[in-house]
């Protein structure tokens, strides 16, 4: 009996003899390359960024969650190598695409990274490959964009001699409890056979693979996960605005609601929504639906509320300074924490950047401190972290806690400051009924 291409590929995957390539060696791709290498596959990481490739080739890691000794071990064992040369794809059997999906300045999806990766892959495609897209994108991308370029235009047939699927990344940088290997992985293919082959591949390396019936289900599941977060953060942000008007402590309200052991999930208000996932992924969904003449009202409203939180923070600064008879214009404001969330060094979409810009527009003299970010490009100029935190706290007319890094000595900061705007309840009880503390 002749063996089908699917059976041949499944056999290679099950024996871990399939040659694996990971396109994109960022916070998603490199951990994925490591788990496939650890499972015994020979993995080639491909990235146009020569610095990333050279780092890996030296046996070092450029990703905070992957220690260099892991890279050194895998490269020494011949299980991992990296290159900028896409032509190695012609020898590959299984390829995972882990490239960024940002937004354009217009707020529309930027698929350029997916299109570039797909275009390179199309040059070297051969029959009987399994291809998995991991980049978060709108429902339909795998079928509408990848399938024509990797299948139809090359005479390959999904489910016959091409196995194409989508599997959302669920990497939360810095998290130790849920990692690439133990976080359940959803996978959906263009056809049932595609789902089966892709799931069989990932099941060799990951603890739990959840095969779904289509790529669209997998694409949409990811968007539900992150839209759920974005909308609930928008809800608590609006609760903060309402409590502010009612003179009620929103933090106490949320803590009280969170005592409910079922039917409630705690989110906390903040100065806005940062990161490269939560503020962005839902807009891929609302963009797709607009093209279908449907308005995703929850997403648009939550996005509006979250985007407006930096302005609310400015009004708190203004009110706080006003109580001390100081105009915002000419006052010195020290922003504490500019990363988009505590204890990481990532600035992407951080609300702190909007807050600094808005304060400067009002004429404040703004400086910042962040233990994870020594400097960043602000309007074409380099803005550097203040060298001495407590000196800066002493000198400032107002200290605004924007990102509540756990390393800060909050009692000392409150003690030394004239005025503190606490947008994260970082001070806890220290901030309650304290005349020099204004809370979100
Ligand atoms: N934020 C709030 N209130 C909250 C939670 C978050 O204001 O209650 C803010 C954060 O300060 C930050 C932004 O929202 O500015 C995003 O925070 P996040 O905790 O969602 O962190 P991310 O962006 O790193 O989200 C990632 C996502 N992971 C992936 O997309 C693979 C998300 O799906 C995870 O649920 C999240 O990590 C997580 O659980 O930590």
Chain segment 372-415, per-residue pLDDT in tens: 999 999 999 999 999 999 999 999 999 999 999 999 999 999 99
Question: What distance in angstroms lies between residue 419's CA and the mean position of ligand 1's atoms?
Answer: 28
For ligand 1, mutation pick of 275, 282, 406 (most atoms within 8 Å of CB): 275
Examine domains 5-213 and 227-439 and report if their fold is the same: yes
For ligand 1, mutation pick of 135, 278, 279, 283 (most atoms within 8 Å of CB): 278
The full set of domain ranges for the chain reads 5-213, 227-439
pLDDT at 105: 80
pLDDT at 173: 83
Find out whether the beta carbon of 337 lies less than 6 Å from any atom of ligand 1: no
Give the separation between CA 266 and CA 255, rounded to whole angstroms.
8
Mean pLDDT of the 202-225 span: 98
Residue nearest to atom 7 of ligand 1 (CA): 270
Q: Give percent of the chain above pLDDT 70.
A: 100
**Nearest one of 203, 226, 177, 204 to 65, comparing CA atoms:** 177
The answer to whether 56 touches 45, Cβ cutoff 8 Å, is yes
CATH of 227-439, one of 2.30.30.90, 1.10.260.40, 3.40.50.720, 2.102.10.10: 3.40.50.720
Is residue 1's pLDDT more than 80?
Answer: no
Find out whether the beta carbon of 341 lies less than 6 Å from any atom of ligand 1: yes
The answer to whether 142 touches 187, Cβ cutoff 8 Å, is no
Question: What distance in angstroms lies between residue 142's CA and the mean position of ligand 1's atoms?
Answer: 25
Find out whether the beta carbon of 31 lies less than 6 Å from any atom of ligand 1: no
**Nearest one of 332, 302, 305, 303 to 317, comparing CA atoms:** 332
Give the active site residue among 98, 243, 277, 398.
Answer: 277
**How does 213-245 read in b/e, with b if 16+ C-beta sit within 10 Å?**
ebbbbbbbbbbebbbebbbebbbbbbbbbebbe
pLDDT at 276: 87
Residue nearest to atom 3 of ligand 1 (CA): 268
User: Could you give the 3-state DSSP secondary structure of residue 323?
Assistant: helix
Give the separation between CA 147 and CA 166, rounded to whole angstroms.
11
Is residue 104's pLDDT more than 90?
Answer: no
Question: What distance in angstroms lies between residue 278's CA and the mean position of ligand 1's atoms?
Answer: 6
- Say what the alpha-carbon torsion angle 388, 389, 392, 398 is, to the nearest 10 degrees: 170
Atom number in ligand 1 closest to CA 306: 7
Q: pLDDT band for 2, please (50, 70, 90 cuts).
A: confident
Question: What distance in angstroms lies between residue 79's CA and the mean position of ligand 1's atoms?
Answer: 33
The sign one gets for the Cα dihedral 199, 6, 88, 60 is positive
Question: What distance in angstroms lies between residue 340's CA and the mean position of ligand 1's atoms?
Answer: 9
Neighbouring-strand partners of residue 94: 20, 130
Is residue 221's pLDDT more than 90?
Answer: yes
pLDDT at 64: 85
Q: How far is CA 301 from CA 66, 148, 280, 297, in A?
A: 37, 35, 14, 6
277 annotated active-site: yes
Q: Give, for 375, the enclosing helix (H) or strand (E).
A: strand 375-378
Give the separation between CA 311 and CA 229, rounded to whole angstroms.
21
Torsion region of 293: left, alpha or beta (phi above 0 gives left; psi -120 to 50 gives alpha): left
CATH number for the domain running over 5-213: 3.40.50.720
């Amino acid at each position: 009996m002749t063996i089908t291409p699917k059976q041949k590929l499944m056999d290679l995957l099950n024996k871990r003899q399939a040659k694996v390539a990971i396109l994109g060696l960022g916070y998603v791709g490199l951990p994925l390359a490591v788990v496939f290498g650890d499972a015994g596959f020979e993995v080639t990481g491909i990235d146009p960024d020569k610095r990333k490739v050279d780092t890996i080739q030296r046996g070092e890691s450029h990703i905070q969650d992957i220690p260099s000794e892991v890279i050194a071990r895998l490269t020494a064992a011949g299980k991992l190598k990296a290159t900028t040369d896409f032509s190695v794809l012609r020898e590959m059997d299984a390829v995972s695409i882990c490239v960024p999906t940002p937004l354009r300045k217009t707020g529309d999806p930027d698929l350029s990274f997916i299109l570039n990766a797909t275009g390179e892959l199309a040059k070297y495609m051969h029959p009987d490959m399994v291809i998995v897209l991991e980049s978060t994108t709108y429902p339909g991308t795998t079928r509408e964009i990848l399938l024509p370029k990797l299948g139809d235009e090359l005479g390959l047939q999904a489910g016959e001699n091409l196995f194409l699927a989508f599997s959302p990344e669920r990497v939360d940088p810095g998290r130790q409890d849920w990692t690439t290997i133990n976080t359940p992985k959803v996978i959906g293919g263009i056809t049932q056979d595609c789902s089966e082959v892709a799931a069989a591949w990932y099941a060799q390396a990951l603890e739990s693979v959840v095969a779904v019936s289509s790529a669209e289900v997998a694409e949409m599941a990811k968007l539900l996960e992150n839209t759920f977060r974005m909308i609930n953060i928008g809800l608590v942000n609006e609760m903060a605005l309402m409590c502010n008007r009612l003179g009620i402590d929103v933090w106490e309200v949320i803590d009280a609601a969170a005592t409910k052991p079922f039917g409630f999930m705690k989110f906390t208000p903040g100065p806005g929504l940062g990161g490269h996932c939560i503020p962005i992924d839902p807009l891929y969904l609302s963009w797709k639906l607009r093209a279908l003449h449907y308005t995703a009202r929850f997403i648009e409203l939550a996005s509006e509320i979250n985007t407006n939180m930096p302005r609310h923070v400015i009004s708190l600064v203004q009110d706080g300074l006003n109580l001390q008879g100081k105009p915002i214009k000419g006052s010195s404001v020290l922003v504490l924490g500019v990363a988009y969330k505590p204890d990481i060094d990532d600035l992407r979409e951080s609300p702190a950047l909007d807050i600094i810009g808005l304060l400067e527009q009002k004429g404040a003299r703004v400086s910042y401190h962040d233990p994870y970010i020594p400097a960043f490009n602000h309007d074409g100029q380099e803005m550097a972290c203040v060298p001495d935190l407590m000196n800066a706290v002493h000198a400032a007319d107002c200290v605004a806690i924007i990102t509540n890094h756990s390393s800060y000595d909050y009692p000392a900061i409150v003690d030394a400051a004239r005025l503190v705007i606490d947008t994260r309840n970082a001070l806890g009880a220290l901030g309650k009924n304290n005349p020099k503390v204004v809370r979100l």
